[in-house]
Amino acid sequence: MAEDLDRISAALAAAVEVLAPFRPGSVAFTEKNSSGPVTEADRLVNETLREMLVRDGEAWFSEESVDTSDRLNKDRVWIVDPLDGTREFIEGVPEWSVSIGLVEHGAPVAGGICNPSTREVFVGSLQGGVTYNGSPVQASGRTELRGATVLASRSEFKRGEWERFRDAPFEIRPVGSVAYKLALVASGQADATWTFTRKNEWDIAGGIALVRAAGGVVKAPDDAPLILNRASFQFSGLIACGAALWRDIEDFLRPISGASAGPRRPSPTRRPNSFSV
């Protein structure tokens, strides 16, 4: 695992170098069907990460690569979002990130997330814990939601989907990239985050590994097992927090979680370039 973490750290550093010539807030982009915007930065980082991460016998799964069924037969797969929060990157909001997850037999075992705008780097594994800019960190030890800091999706917040929590006894902080939100929870800089909008594996693989490695809890709202590297690569959403806070969050969200969670954006079950099995 030490070698894997070295590989993750080196790949994140290389991604930062690739991104250096780009200026968030003034980046050209195109729309990829209904999947949102994409930039040349997304593509270049994707190529760099793939070259640096994948070894013989390992598979690759990325938002910016054509998917194939070959990965389903591999025990180890790199699940990557080269630029999570592309919209924030385009708008110049410093809440985008590069996310790397290493999955073994369906379980996220190591990950790395960096936010080049804020110069934050989060790296960790189930075996070795998590570091934030090189220093060991842990998920929050808070035991109750009252007074907690909960990270909300910035786009969900703008759509009014967090209005239901207006009078809740915790602070709501909108943040862009879901990977970055998970990294902040893993490092104890926030107590929890949740979403009832469908998420793809590349959105969450690295973040799940980091939160769990930091002693936190990550679950799907419908309690579906978070097994990754599947043919169907979407989940109903995500709840992540420090372990001591889980029961309080579970009780608080029970009336609205799962199928009754409220408004969701329509989301295709499969990308146009994905395979069928």
The pLDDT value recorded for residue 143 is 95
The pLDDT value recorded for residue 261 is 39
The pLDDT value recorded for residue 264 is 37
N-terminal to C-terminal alpha carbon distance within the chain: 32
As a whole number of angstroms, the distance between CA 51 and CA 126 comes to 24
Confirm if 240 and 151 have CB atoms less than 8 A apart. no
Q: Per the structure block, which two tokens stand in for 209? A: 């590994």
* Domains of the chain: residue spans and CATH: 2-137 (3.30.540.10), 149-260 (3.40.190.80)
The pLDDT value recorded for residue 273 is 35
- DSSP of 106-143, one letter per residue? TEEEEEEEEETTTTEEEEEETTTEEEETTEEE------
Please state the pTM of the whole predicted model: 0.90
Q: Per the structure block, which two tokens stand in for 43? A: 């593509």
User: C-alpha 1: how far from its chain's center?
Assistant: 21
Would you give the DSSP letter of residue 69?
G
The pLDDT value recorded for residue 32 is 79
What is the chain's pLDDT, residue by residue, as a tens digit (277 residues)?
Answer: 899 999 999 999 999 999 999 999 999 999 876 678 999 999 999 999 999 999 999 999 999 998 888 999 999 999 999 999 999 999 999 999 999 999 999 999 999 999 999 999 999 999 999 999 999 999 999 999 999 999 999 999 999 999 999 999 999 999 999 999 999 999 999 999 999 999 999 999 999 999 999 999 999 988 888 999 998 888 989 999 999 999 999 999 988 764 333 333 333 333 333 322 2
- Which candidate, 185, 171, 154, places its Cα nearest to that of 87? 154
As a whole number of angstroms, the distance between CA 67 and CA 250 comes to 35
The pLDDT value recorded for residue 265 is 36
If you search the block for the tokens 């699940």, which residue do you land on?
79
